Structure 1
Amino acid sequence: MMDPYTSAQDVMRCDLCETAVVQMHCDTCHVNLCKACVGENISTGKSKDHKVVKFQDRQSTPLYPMCKYHNKERCEMFCKQCDIPVCVSCVALNQHLGHELSKILQLLDEKKDMIIKERNELNDTIYPTYQDFASDVQNRMSQLEKEYGDLSTDITKHGEDWHREIDKLVKKLKAEVDEMKNKQLQTLQKHLGEINKTMSDIKEEINSMETVTDTNDLSKLFSVISNVHTYRNLPHKILPSLPKFNPGKIQGEELSKLFGSLSSSSLTSDKHGYSMKTTQKSPEAGSSPPVKQLLDEPETVTTINTGYGYLYSVACLSDEEIWTNGYDKTMKLYSINQGSLLKSITTMSGNISWNIAVTKSGDLVYTDYDDRTVNIVKNEKIEEVIRLKNWRPKGVCSTSSGDLLVIMDSIEVKQTKVVRYSGSTEKQSIQFDDKGKPLYSHSSLYYRYITENKNLDICVSDDRANALVVVNQAGKLRFRYTGQTPAPKNKPFSPRGITADSQSHILTANINNKCVHIINQDGQFLRCIDCGLSYPWGLCTDSNDNLFVAQLRNKQVKKIKYLQ
C-alpha cells in the first residue's frame, strides 16, 4: 500500500498536523513542516538549536555527530591524533590537550572528495578488474572441467588398449596350450595304435598255439615258432608332461607403474598473476605513444623477392632484417634494404613450418603442425619448447611479457583454443565465451593467425568463420569483426595474417579482396591498404610502424608506409 502522504497520488503533508502542505523542513529534527507548525516544532525543547529551512533546501545544514562522552553535545571539532570527532566539553576538559584540532566542517569537503575519488576508483577500476578476475576464473573452471574430462577419457582409452593386449595374450597362450595338447595326443594315439597291433598279434599267436596243442601231429608242433621272447620286451611307457601356467604376480604398485600414473595436481596462488585495469596503452611505457595519423595514400617503400613456391609468413627481427617462411622446410632471413638472403634455417623435423614469430630477445619461433611442436631457434640451434599430445599448433606470437600465444586445433579437428605459455609451462587456456560456447571455429583446412595488441587484447584471424575474434587479456570476448570492404572490393571477408601497431590498430590480410584491413582497438573499420597487393597472406610491423606483407603467389614481401 502506498503512503498517502508521500505517494505520487498526493502532495507532501506536514508531519505534525498531517493536513497542511509541506513548506518547511527542520534539518535538526528531520521533519517536514507547514509554516503554522514551525513554532510548535521549535517549542518542543528536544533540541537547543533547530535549523528550519525551506523544504527545497532541506539537508543543506550539516548534521553534526553527537559526542559519545557528553550527552546532547554536538561534535564541531575533529582531533587528528585520535581520529575522532570531539565536542566543546571534550576540549574544555583538556581531554585532547596538545592535539591538533580542526573544525569538522573544514574536513567535510576533503572527506567528500576522498569518498568520491575512492568511489570512482571502485566503480571505474577495481570493480571492472574483479569482473575480469571472475570471468577468468569461470573460464578456468570451464577449461578445468573439459581437461579433466579429456584426462579421464585418456585413462579409459589406455585401459581399453590394455584389455585388447591382454585379450591377445590370452588368445595366444590358449592357442599354444591347444597346440601342445594336440601334439601329445597324436603321440599317444600313435603309441596306442602300436600297442593295439601287438595285442592283435599276440591274440593271433595264442589262437595258433591253442590249435596245435590239441593235435598229436609232431610236424605241426615243431612248426610253431613262438614270439614270446619278443613280447616279453614290453614297450616304453609314454608319460606326457603337461606345461605349467606361471601367472605373473599382480603387484598393485608395479602394475600401477606399468599401466601409468598421474602426476600430482596443484593449486598455486600467484599474487602477481592479476593486474589492475589501466588506461595505459603499453605495460612498458610510462606514457601513451605519440598519435600517428593514417596516410591518405599508403605507399610501397621496397619489395623483397624470397624465391619460395608459396610465401606464408613474415616476422620482423629488426628494422633492417625480416624472417620469412613458405612452402619449404627452410626459414629465410633477409636484409630489408639490400633484399639479400642472410641466413637459412631448416626445420628440425624436415616438415614445412606453419607459422613464425620473433621473441623479445630476438629468437625465431616456429610451429610444426605435423610434428605437433613449437620450436625456438637460438644461435642457429633448434630447441623444442612445446610438444603437444592431442593438439596441432597453427599460429604463434610472442607477447609483450615474453610469453608465447599459440592457437591450435585438436587432432580430431573438433576443437580450437588459444594457449598462453611461459617457456613450456601452460599459463592460460582460452576456448569458450561466458555462455560456454566455442570462441573459435574448427577445421584443419582453414587458417589461424594470432597477435597481441598493444592494449594486451588477444586477436585471432578465424578464416572459417570469416572473422577476427578479439578477447581481452583475461580471455573474455570483446568483439568479432566480420569485414567491411568498400566497393568494388566486395567479396566475402577472408582473413589471413594479423598484426598490430603502436596505435593499437589491428591489421589483417584479406585474401579475397587482395587488401589489408585496418580497424581500431574496438573493432571499428578505418580503411583498406591496397598498394597493388597480390594474395596478401602474412603480416608484421616494425618499431616504426612500417607494414610488411608476405604475398602468397608472387613470393614477394612488400614494405608499406601507411602512418604519418
Structure 2
Amino acid sequence: MATTSDEQAAGQHYLVCGIKDCQKNGQFYCNDCHQPMCEQCKDEHRKSPNNKNHDIVLYRQRKHRLPIEKCKLHPTKNVDIFCRECNTPLCLKCFLGKEHKGHEFDDLEEIYAEKYALWQGEFSKIQKYFLPTSEDLKTDIKEDVKEIKKIMESIRTSMKAEAESLKNLVDEVTSDKIKHTHTMEKSLLQMLKSQETTYNDYIKYLGKMSEKFQEYLSTTNQKLLSSKILKLKTIPETSKPFPPVFTPGQFNRDDVAKLLGILNIPNTEPEKRKIQPMEAVSTPMKFTEKQMEQSKEKSDMKPTLSLSSSVTKVREYSVPGVDNAYHVSVGKSGRLWVSDWENLVQTDLQGNLLQKIQTSGYREEGYHTATQDGGLIYIDIDEKVIYRITPDGKITEFIKTGDWRPISLHSSRINGDILVGMITDEEAKVIRYSKTGKEIQNMKRNNQGQELYEYPRYITENINGDICTSDHSKRAVVVVNKSGQHRFSYAGLGSEFRPFGICTDVLGHILVCDIVSETVHLLNQDGGFLSFILSEQQGIEHPQGVCVDDENNLHVTQCDTNTVTVYKYLQ
C-alpha cells in the first residue's frame, strides 16, 4: 500500500488512490481492477465504457484478490475457475478441455471472496466477542475470588466475635454462680456460728450449776436434806448443715459448636455466569455456508454494518445552561450531558434542560462520562475529586486523586472500569480504576521508559480494549492496548494537528476532532487514516467534542456555540 513521504514521516497508514500520479485518499475500491481509488478517479473510471459494469465499493467492503496458484496439469496457467461437477479448481486450458465439457462453473475469485468473508467473520467474532467475553468472565472470576476472600474473612471475624460473646457470657454466668456460692457459704457459716453460740451459752450455764452443786455439797446434812433438788437443762439440739452439691453441666463439643453458629453452603442450584449474547459483529461480509450454496448474488454479501458513502445530518439543537459546548456524553435513553468551563448540564433529545451542576472543570477537557447503569461520573479539577451521579440523581464522592489533577475520564462499555487522565506540573499518566473505585492499573511510560503522555485531555476505549487518548501537548492520539503497552500514535497527515474530543464506534473506528483543520478524522482500529468524516462541507466549524450513541449516531459539539449536531454515518 502506497504512502506519501509526509505520512511515512508521521508513521501513519494511509489509503492512497491507485490511479497513476494521484495521491488522494483512496477510500473506494474497484473489485474488478483490484485497486483503491479516490472519489474523483472513481467517477472517471466509471465514465469509460469498458468499466461501466465494474463493481466499485467502499475500501472496507472490497473483495480480497484471489491468491495466485498454478494449475497442476498446466503449470504455466493460473487457477481461476471452479468446476461444480468435479468440485475442483481449474485453469482456462482445463476449462476448454473435453473432460469438463457441459459442466457448470463458478468464478473462483467469487468463491474465494465469499470464503474469505466467512472466515474473516469468524475471526472477527473471536476478536470482538469470544475473546473479550472470555476476558470479562476471567475478570468476573477474579472479582468472585476477591468477594469470596472478603466474605470468608467477614465470617471468620463474625465467628471470633461470636466466640468472644460466648466467652463473655460464660464469664458472666460463672461470676454470678460464684457469687451465689459465697452467699450460700455465708448463710451456712452464720447458722453454724449461731449453733456455736448456743453451746457456749449452755457451757456457761453448766459452770454456774456446778458452782451451786459444790455449794450444796459443802453444807451440813440437815441443810442439804431440807434444800430443793436442782434440775439441769437438757443439752440443746442443733442440726448438722448439708453442704451444697455441684452438678456439672451436660454439654459436649457439638453443643458448643451449635451455640457458636453453623457454617454451610446453601443447598441451592449455583447461579450460571451471565454470558452476554453475541450481537452483530462488524465483518466485511456476512454469510453462512447454506447461503453460499443457495445463492451467488451480490445482494447476499451486504455487510451487517458499514460506513455510509455520505454523512447525513439527523438533527441539531442548542443546549441551555452552557455558553460553549466543549464535551458531550450520551447516557441511557438518549439523555445528553454537555459541559463548558464550569457548567455541566443534562438535556433530553429535544434540548430541554433536565439538570445543571456547577463544577470546576474550567478547561476544555473531557471531564465527564456516562456510565452503563444510566448514571454519570465527573471531575472537579480544583478539588481533585471524581464524583458519581446515580441514575436517581444522587451525587456522591467517588475517588480522590491526591496530588494528581484529574482532567479526563471514560467509563468502559466493556467491563465498567474507569479510565482517568491525570497530570501534575511535571508528569502525566492514565489510571484504570475498577467500577468500585479501586486503582488496578497505572499507565505512564512505554517499554523504553519514555513518557506516554503530556496532557491527556480526552480519553476513550475501543472495542478491542485499546485506550485511546487525545494528547493536546503531544499533538497526537496516543493508543495503548488494554495491558498498557504502546500500540501507535496518530499525529495527523503531516500538517499541524491539534486533537481534542475523541470517541470510538461499534466497528472499532476512532473519531477525533482537529481544531486546526476544523475537521473530524476517521481512523481505523490500527490508526490508519480513512477520511475526514466531517469538515466545512458539512457545515462544521471548530469541532470540539464527539460521542457515538447506542443507535450509532455521531454527536458533535462546536466550541464557539452551545449547539450539538447529530449525524448518521453508518449504514
Q: TM-score per shorter chain, which class?
A: 0.3 to 0.5
Q: Which structure is higher in RCO with an 8 Å CA cutoff and minimum separation 6?
A: 2
TM-score by length of 1: 0.46
Q: TM-score, normalised by structure 2?
A: 0.45
